[in-house]
Amino acid sequence: MSENSHHLILGEFVDFLSGKTITDTHDERYRQQIARHLVNGLGFDKSDIEAGRQITIHTASRSAVVNVDFLVYRNQRAVMMINYAPGSLVTRRLSTLALSRLIFDYQIPIVVVTNGQDAELISGKTGKVEGEGIFAIPGPDHSIITSLPETFETVSAKMAGQAEKIVFACMVDGACMMDDACDEC
């Protein structure tokens, strides 16, 4: 295990989407399973999936880099964001939705949070859970994707600022803004 990592390193393997050699961890095994499901199970083309985008989050006097696991594109626009998060999906819902508001100047319409075994399909517009389970994730020909409007809702500066605070607080290790305020930081 590396000095700065809390992940058990199991070796290396070839990434399904990129063909590059990557570090083998339990979390990465779930990400690979999700990628295979998107391509082999749902029918997305590998070229329509962007994996591992990094977003820099700024708040107060600090910044951090947060990973976006998968962005799925249709007609050169991200129509779905999928983030893997181990554990309870309910506790990851708000931060995943907030992250979907920081990647582009528009709201990604379909947001998925998954622990690799279960999933929640969330409306980017309303924040409501629209489906549950891995099989609720829509494929490229599903009506939820094919019926999307030509333009997506713009994310306001105020909403983006709020989203940055949520993502920073919930997705960044040691993000507590108060000195000595908690034992976890």
Q: What is the pLDDT of residue 5?
A: 52
Q: Which domain holds residue 71?
A: 48-171
pLDDT digits (tens, 9 = 90+) for 56-65: 998 878 889 9
Give me the mean pLDDT over the 135-154 stretch: 95
Whether 29 maps to a domain, the answer reads no
Question: Which tops the pLDDT comparison, 97 or 14?
Answer: 97
With respect to residue 90, please indicate whether it lies within any of the assigned structural domains: yes
59 falls within a domain: yes
pLDDT at residue 184 is higher than 60:
no
- Look at residue 80 and tell me whether its pLDDT is greater than 50: yes
Nearest by Cα to 78 from 118, 105, 38, 98: 105
Residue pointed to by tokens 């599903």: 142
Structural domain count, the chain: 1
| Domain membership flag for residue 13 | no
Q: Between the CA of residue 160 and those of 42, 150, 154, what are the distances in Å?
A: 31, 22, 10
With a cut of 50, say whether residue 96 has pLDDT above it: yes
Predicted TM-score (pTM) of this structure = 0.86
Residue 83: CATH number of its domain: 3.90.1570
Do the domain assignments include residue 105? yes
Tell me if 42 is assigned to some domain: no
Q: Which of 7-16, 50-59, 64-73 has the lowest mean pLDDT?
A: 7-16
27-53 pLDDT, tens digit each:
888 999 999 999 999 999 999 999 999
Residue-averaged pLDDT of the chain: 87
Inform me whether the pLDDT recorded for 175 exceeds 90: no
Q: At residue 136, does pLDDT exceed 50?
A: yes
Instruction: Say if 40 falls within a structural domain.
Output: no
